[in-house]
Amino acid sequence: MTGIFAKIKRTVEAELFDIVEKKEQKNPIAMLNQYLREAQKETEKAMKLLERQQLLKKEFEREWQDAVRMQDKRLKQATLAAEAGEKQLEEFAVREAEIYKERAARLQHSVSIADEQIIKLERQTEEMKHKLKDMNVRRLELMGRENAARAHYSMSKVLDEGSGNNHPFGRFEELEQYIDELEGKASKKYETTLMDARLAELERQFYQQEKNTHQA
């Protein structure tokens, strides 16, 4: 029984810490999620084994109490048989009492061993729970680091002014330059149109004045 828990403990410690330490740079979140699922299964298995051991201890205790009760019963019967002069019954009761005595002693020893095993298994199970909790905390820490790294990377692509023509700010500058050129062209065209209009008006006034002079 203890060998099973020792194996589980080694599996949790070795696989969840040593292997993850070596490979966490590849895909830390995915790997930790996988190992956490495995660790959760192993922890649940360990808890079931602990419950089973506790049930076995209760069985030992019941058998022990039954053996003690039967030993006392046979001893009393042996006394009654002796008082009644029933030698054969007395010998049978004494022999039975001895058998129950040996059984009770063996069962008492089994109860003591079961107690020690349960204490050890409870401690190991708690250690596994703490390991699992530590791994979950570590997963959250790595998720935070990954999220921050992604955010920094995304923002750096926007804020990095030296990233070339594809940079958003670079495109804004190009657009601004293009608009300036359009505004310049429009302004020149407007000035040309305005001058043409003034010249045309001046010509009209000149011809009108000349016409009026001839009519006079």
User: pLDDT tens digit string along 18-51?
Assistant: 555 555 556 667 777 888 888 888 888 989 999 9
Q: Give the pLDDT confidence score for residue 5 in this predicted structure.
A: 57
Distance CA(132)–CA(138), nearest Å, equals: 10
Structure tokens at 69: 């009760």
Those residues with Cβ within 8 angstroms of residue 193's Cβ, 6 or more apart along the chain or in another chain: none
In this prediction the pTM is 0.54
User: pLDDT tens digit string along 173-209?
Assistant: 777 777 777 777 767 766 677 777 777 777 777 777 7
Q: Please state the domain extents for the chain.
A: 2-159, 166-216
